[in-house]
Structure 1
Amino acid sequence: MTPEELAAELDRVGYLPDRGIATAAYLAWRMHRPLFCEGEPGTGKTSLAVALARALDLPLIRLQCHEGIDATQALYDWDFPRQLLHLRALEAAGPVDADQAEASLYTRRFLLARPLLQALEDAPCVLLVDEVDRADDEFEAFLLEVLGENSVTIPELGRVTAETPPLVVLTSNRTREVHDALKRRCLYHWLEHPDLAREVAILRRRLPGVTERLAHQVASAVRRLRDLDLLKPPGVAESLDWAEALLTLGRTELDADTAATTLGAVLKYREDAQRALSSGVLGAASGSTIGG
């Protein structure tokens, strides 16, 4: 498979990649290197991992990062309630050697595989490490070790190694800078918001009922909103929500009044909505023309 063929497969499953995204994903897959995707929210970072899993016919395993996440939540844990029930059952059956009882508690049947261990065991697969910028430095270091070796050691059971490394996609909204050590381990790609033509194509692909004119008007209006100094500029997901809202209302065009009354589909902060309304960009929505 070539980068162009991978792009065609991504297109087939509904993700419209540009050449840069398709090439970066192809290299990550073939070189067995994690792909670090950074960019503004709504630029399609998470959707890329989902589409890659579908295009390559691989299972998708997702690790959602958050503040305070640790190795236990990401790698594995022991099923304490089941271990306790097992221990009580042993005690009810009669005298049992303490060492044997303890050893029986730490077997595979009581192990809860979290996303990282699951990815190593189920590889080949696509592992999505979403919003890694929300985790802390210690978790980054742990993640770097796991991704570098594609294996982990469980003291009670031994070493688990992926015969085929998972295709790892890490995403970051750049709420903080991720350390260089982790970035160096990865291939890097910055995702921009799509250009007008590609966003129109995405709208029409995902929402077949949207006319080319309405898709162009929505995409043009969203691009104008992104040029404002907003707390949260809208991404493609908001463009889709807006277009779907207009379809639900039976609208075939986006005029200024409709844009104002449906603004909650695309902007999620009161300050952003007020700025958009006072800027006059919504008044230009009805003037958007194909190719304009």
Structure 2
Amino acid sequence: MRHLATPQEVADALDGVGYLADDGLATAAFLALRMGKPLFCEGEPGTGKTSLAIGLADALGVEVIRLQCHEGIDATQALYDWDFPRQLLHLRALDGKVDPDEAEKSLYTRRFLLARPLLRALEAAPCVLLIDEVDRADDEFEAFLLEVLSENAVTIPELGEIRAAEPPLVVLTSNRTREVHDALKRRCLYHWLEHPDLTRELAIIRRRVPGISDRLSAQITTAVRRLRSAELLKPPGVAESIDWAHALLALDRTDLDAASAAVTLGAVLKYREDADRVIAAGLDALLAG
């Protein structure tokens, strides 16, 4: 894993892979690396939480392993499972040729183990482990995560303990659809990600959308900031700003006027109610200035 000695070196390394981090985020990432603690990133959707983990992996020259959380996720889906179809085929192949006890033992070897993201991260370290949208999981899964992250090891009854030779850099993200328990947060460094300021968002769009003009990127950034200040069900994030820029360039539009905005609004607003509200308020007002 590449060694980064200061927060500025972290910021520069992220910049080199296309992720523009402010001083606070670069410092939080540096401390997570230096202290060996998970980094818990919370904020509105579209503020770059997931992209941070991917950017850190690229900057450090390691693999990123992603665990996407969802309602009902359990330890089997996150840690490991046994490949039952292959075990069954194995038993059929033995066909009584060995002692039943020996046949049973042969079923529970690494040959038939399906490693899920958490186990893969422990074995692949150094790596970046992204635990995405942990707020979608339930309390029981949080408790399970707490145990794994505290020990950087798991015990598989049939195989014994598997411990990371080098703990992965863990990045947890949350869109705050519910509050994550304090016990998990206490094990982590915490950072709240805001939407970027005007200057940084302009730089992000110009970096991610080659060939866009200064005028069009400024128009997009200004319009998106106004949308975020409106009472929308889902204010647009940086990803939507970038999508809007790509959509306008794909249509060969060089200026963001009311007509261009009307036909590309679906790139930046994802709810019909939000689009109706913006159109009712007037696209000219949105784009003024």
Give distance in 2, aligned partners of 1:32 and 1:279: 49
1:10 pairs with 2:18: no
1:176 is matched with: 178
Distance across 2 between alignment mates of 1:200 and 1:130 = 26
Q: Deviations over 1:1-20 (max 9, x none)?
A: 21101100100100000001
* 1:65 corresponds to which of 65, 69, 73: 69
Q: Which runs of 5+ in 2 are unaligned?
A: none
1:190 alignment partner AA = W
Identity %: 76
Q: Which amino acid aligns with 1:283?
A: D
Q: CA deviation at 1:46?
A: 0.1
Query: Could you tell me which residue of structure 2 aligns to residue 283 of structure 1?
Result: 284
Q: Which amino acid aligns with 1:239?
A: S
Structure 2 counterpart of 1:195, from 194, 197, 221: 197
- Say which SS state the counterpart of residue 117 (structure 1) adopts: helix
Instruction: Give, in angstroms, the shift of residue 286 of structure 1.
Output: 4.5
CA distance in 2, matches of 1:39, 1:216: 24
Residue 131 of structure 1 corresponds to which residue in structure 2?
133
Task: Provide the TM-score with structure 2 as the length reference.
Answer: 0.97
User: Structure 1: 5+ residue runs without aligned partners?
Assistant: none
1:80 aligns with 2:84: yes
CA distance, structure 2, for counterparts of residue 284 and residue 16 of structure 1:
30
Deviation (angstroms), 1:29: 1.1
Pick aligned residue for 2:102 from 100, 107, 115 = 100
Aligned residues: 285
Q: What is the letter of the counterpart of residue 189 of structure 2?
A: L
Aligned counterparts of 2:205 and 2:97: Cα–Cα separation in 1: 68
In the TM superposition, residue 177 of structure 1 has moved relative to its aligned partner by: 0.3
Corresponding residue number in structure 2 for 1:221: 223
Shift of 1:95: 3.3
Aligned to 2:39: 35
C-alpha deviations, 1:70-104, integer Å up to 9, x for none? 0000000000011001111111xx43211100000
Q: CA deviation at 1:232?
A: 0.7
Q: Is the 8 A contact 1:234 1:267 kept in 2?
A: yes
In the other structure, the counterpart of 1:52 is 56
Are the equivalent residues in 1 in contact too, given 2:226–2:286 (CA < 8 A)? no
Q: Is 1:21 the equivalent of 2:15?
A: no
Structure 1 moving runs of 4+ over 2 Å: 284-288
> Offset at 1:279?
2.1
Task: Give the TM-score of the pair, scaled to structure 1.
Answer: 0.96
Tell me if structure 1 keeps the 8 A contact 2:223–2:287. Answer: no
Q: In the aligned structure 1, how far is the partner of 2:150 from the partner of 2:159?
A: 21
Structural RMSD (CA)? 0.9
Q: What SS does the corresponding residue of 2:140 show, helix, strand or coil?
A: helix
Distance 2:100 2:24 in 1: 59
